[in-house]
Amino acid sequence: MAIDASHIWHPYSAMHSALPVFHVDSAAGVRLRLSDGREIIDGMASWWCVIHGYNHPRLNGAIETQLAQMAHVMFGGLTHAPAIRLVERLVELTPSNLSAVFLSDSGSVAVEVAMKLALQYWHAAGRAHKQRFATLRNGYHGDTFGAMSVCDPVTGMHSLFSSVLAKQHFVERPGCRYGEACNDADLDPLQRLFERKHDQIAAMVLEPIVQGAGGMYFYSADYLRRVRELCDRYDILLIADEIATGFGRSGELFACEHAAIEPDIMCLGKALTGGYLSLAATLASEQVSNTIDAGSPGVFMHGPTFMGNPLACAVALESLNLLREGDWRQQVQRIERGLRAGLAPCRDLPSVREVRTLGAIGVVELHEPVDMARISNNFVEAGVWIRPFGRLVYLMPAYVMQDDDLARLCAALVEVVARQPA
């Protein structure tokens, strides 16, 4: 731990931070075992990706089997069965118009790839002046430079870099919540932007239904439907960032399904491998891929060194098998019921502004930002791992979490939040 404190940068942290860091020795199911012997229930699924729980025998087995064959081989000019089978499954599961799959290393890179696809598409179509992106305020799409440019420039985490980022077009997120109809006033800001700037805009980038790290906000499926219509009307591609919402988290396999729409490009990551290895995918329509192929230079200009890593592809394929066989929908509905009941007492707390749930996502929004050092210690002392940010204390547990553990997790959250100042 002394070495950690002296030499390791943790996410969004100073080198010599006062924030506590807890040493994990092992993990199994939904529990983390700390080096001091304590076990804590993980309410975060390691930033939302460990949907089947830790140390799953079938996911372990998939990696072990693949490791005996090869751990890695370059994807340039070579291919292998794990990538082929995984891509086949992704094309089967995702919206029917998505037929071309680009594998990469992380969610941020998947967004970079999506943005490059959109730019290269319009260049190949003879409309290279379409070089900007439209997006919603309070969105989050990653920490690399292209992805940062479509994160909220005010409430986001990247204002330090605003002077060097590409300038994109932002509109207010819709006021219509999930389950509500969308009216013209909700759509007017986007429609006015498209009317004025459609000749500049390559694509609309958004997180469908659920805005994740930008605010854990759930918006209307009707709004998403109407965004798809506007993109079609003004000849703008639609990029759906499903990195956080993909693979059942919102209650549908992909959040676009709440609105029954098909994006032109979709980004996937996080839960793709069940949290075992970093892997992401960007899927595009045949129109997008064919246009890029037919234009200059006739190839898509991207190629990560570890693209299509066999270990990651093998475990991702097995994770998708577990989803299919384990009735993920019933699991997520059960989690949603548990979150709704378990977090309900927070509505009566003076420090709480709002409580909201959707699928396997439970959010408690406070009036004031939390003290991260204090609240992190409080949660661990209560036997749970919950990692808030800003004013948001939220849960995204593994789908396999049983009802008693979910109840204990929610009770701990309520107990700790009850101590927060109003």
Cα gap 389→9, rounded to integer Å = 18
**Amino acid (one-letter) located at 273:** T
CB 376 within 8 A of CB 387: yes
pLDDT for the residue numbered 160: 86
Local confidence band at 422 (pLDDT 50, 70, 90 cut-offs): confident
Q: What is the mean pLDDT of residues 263-278?
A: 98
Local confidence band at 163 (pLDDT 50, 70, 90 cut-offs): confident
Residue predicted with more confidence, 15 or 249: 249
CB 202 within 8 A of CB 133: yes
Q: What is the mean pLDDT of residues 251-262?
A: 98
Render pLDDT for 14-27 as a digit per residue (tens, 0 to 9): 998 888 999 999 99
Tokens representing 305 are 């060194």
The domain covering 2-55+327-417 belongs, at the CATH homologous superfamily level, to Aspartate Aminotransferase, domain 1 (3.90.1150.10)
CB 326 within 8 A of CB 398: no
Tokens representing 344 are 């309900």
Tokens representing 352 are 């709480």
Residue 157 pLDDT exceeds 80: no
Q: What is the mean pLDDT of residues 241-261?
A: 98
Local confidence band at 98 (pLDDT 50, 70, 90 cut-offs): very high
Common-topology check for domains 2-55+327-417 and 61-325: no
Tokens 């986001």, residue located: 156
Catalytically annotated residues: 12, 140, 241, 270
Per DSSP, 348 falls in state G
Render pLDDT for 296-345 as a digit per residue (tens, 0 to 9): 999 999 999 999 999 999 999 999 999 999 899 999 999 999 999 999 99
Using only the alpha carbons of the chain, give its radius of gyration.
21
Q: What is the mean pLDDT of residues 24-33?
A: 98
List the alpha helices (DSSP H) in 27-183: 45-48, 57-67, 81-93, 107-124, 145-149
Return the domain boundaries, the chain. 2-55+327-417, 61-325
Lowest-confidence pick of 116-120, 160-164, 209-213, 271-275: 160-164
Helix (H, G, I), strand (E, B) or coil at 187: helix
Strands, sheet with 39-42, edge to edge from the N-terminal-most edge strand: 24-28, 31-34, 39-42, 384-385
Residue 151, Cβ neighbours under 10 Å: how many? 27
β strands within 193-245, DSSP E = 201-206, 210-211, 217-218, 237-241
Those residues with Cβ within 8 angstroms of residue 193's Cβ, 6 or more apart along the chain or in another chain: 134, 169, 171, 201
The CATH code of the domain at 61-325 is: 3.40.640.10
pTM over 0.85: yes
Q: What percent of the chain has pLDDT over 70?
A: 100
CB 200 within 8 A of CB 127: no
Cα gap 121→292, rounded to integer Å = 5
Tokens 């439970």, residue located: 362
Residue 81 pLDDT exceeds 80: yes
Local confidence band at 223 (pLDDT 50, 70, 90 cut-offs): very high
**Pairing between β-strand 132-136 and β-strand 210-211 as defined by DSSP bridges:** unpaired
- Rounded to the nearest integer, the mean pLDDT of the chain is 96
CB 13 within 8 A of CB 19: yes
